[in-house]
Structure 1
Amino acid sequence: MGAQLTRSGPGNAELSIPIVDHLKQQHGFVHGGVISYLADNSITFAGGLALGGNALTSEFKINYLKPAVGSLLVARAHAKGVGKRQAVCQCEIYAVEDGEESLCAIAQGTVVSVSQ
């Protein structure tokens, strides 16, 4: 899909993906599955960074606020509650058009540490 990790830090991650035609649904908006993919991955990155290692999403939910239109999607996730084995993370997804960000979805999820 072309997603890129654009920023990261302890318990924080930002991913972006260019909005291109094959990511849109029949009405010309970014498909909800693409937005969900971006939210899930940013939550997992943020949680994994907060937990200090390999991690997986154990659950997440998303609220779509408005259709995503523009040239770029940006997801910013932050670990809000971190324990020994899990982190609860929140994510905001923005559609960027002409340099202006518009909040189009909010997600929250739980990320668990994976020992191998």
Structure 2
Amino acid sequence: MNEERQQQLREGFSRSGMMQLLGAQLQVIGNGFCEIIVPRQDFMARPAGMFNGAVIASLVDVSSGYAAASAKPVDSYFTTVELKVNYLNPAIGESLIARASVIKNGKVISVVRADIYASGPEGETHAATSLVTMMQLSGKKSPRQPKSAAEDPAAEA
């Protein structure tokens, strides 16, 4: 992956409303690999203290998409076809770390494995593992999502 593609992916990540909400940081983006860190926030925790499964699933989805995109040409965009998450251990810690790697980089379909770790003072705990199927929408750039009702009159309906 060239520097231009890497910069394009980093800029796209920085515009993601979901990643902003989670306070996520794109640590590593490489050819077929992505690592994202999400610091713990109160709204992410279940009453028992572990990260909510929805946060983990969102992190799986996004990290898999970026891993798949990092292995493709500049004009590619991905959508999730299937996502399976196995929750292995309670995700208790100060942050979540997603490490996603492309297993199969097909012409249209890519298969990605994403592992989620809960990180704390005692190290990392493997909290979840997943298998994600992504479909490349060739020649399409990421659709622009309106930021407000002023930019999208249909949003007011």
Sort the TM-score into its range (normalised by shorter chain): over 0.9
| Matched residue SS, 1:51 | coil
Letter of the structure 2 residue corresponding to residue 45 of structure 1: Y
Q: Which residue among 24, 29, 33 is the counterpart of 1:8?
A: 29
1:87 matched to 2:110? The reply is yes
Match of 1:63 in 2: 86
| Matched residue SS, 2:92 | coil
Unaligned runs of 5+ in 2: 1-21, 141-157
Distance (whole Å) between structure 2 residues aligned to residue 72 and residue 24 of structure 1: 11
Letter of the structure 2 residue corresponding to residue 109 of structure 1: V
Large movers: runs of 4+ above 6 Å: none
Match of 2:134 in 1: 111
Number of residue pairs matched? 116
> Retained in 2: the 8 A contact 1:90–1:108?
yes
| Matched residue SS, 2:116 | strand
1:77 matched to 2:103? The reply is no
Distance (whole Å) between structure 1 residues aligned to residue 94 and residue 65 of structure 2: 24
Deviation of 1:99 after TM superposition, in Å, equals: 5.7
Deviation of 1:83 after TM superposition, in Å, equals: 1.0
Q: Compare 72-81 and 19-28 and name the one that shifted more.
A: 19-28
Match of 1:38 in 2: 59
Deviation of 1:51 after TM superposition, in Å, equals: 2.6
Q: Compare 49-58 and 16-25 and name the one that shifted more.
A: 49-58
Which is greater in Rg?
A: 2
Query: Matched residues, percent identical?
Result: 35
Structure (1 or 2) with the greater helix fraction:
2
**Residues 34-60 of structure 1: per-residue CA shift (max 9 Å, x gap):** 011001110111111123321111111
Deviation of 1:98 after TM superposition, in Å, equals: 1.0
Q: Compare 44-53 and 12-21 and name the one that shifted more.
A: 44-53
Distance (whole Å) between structure 2 residues aligned to residue 42 and residue 105 of structure 1: 13
Structure (1 or 2) with the greater strand fraction:
1
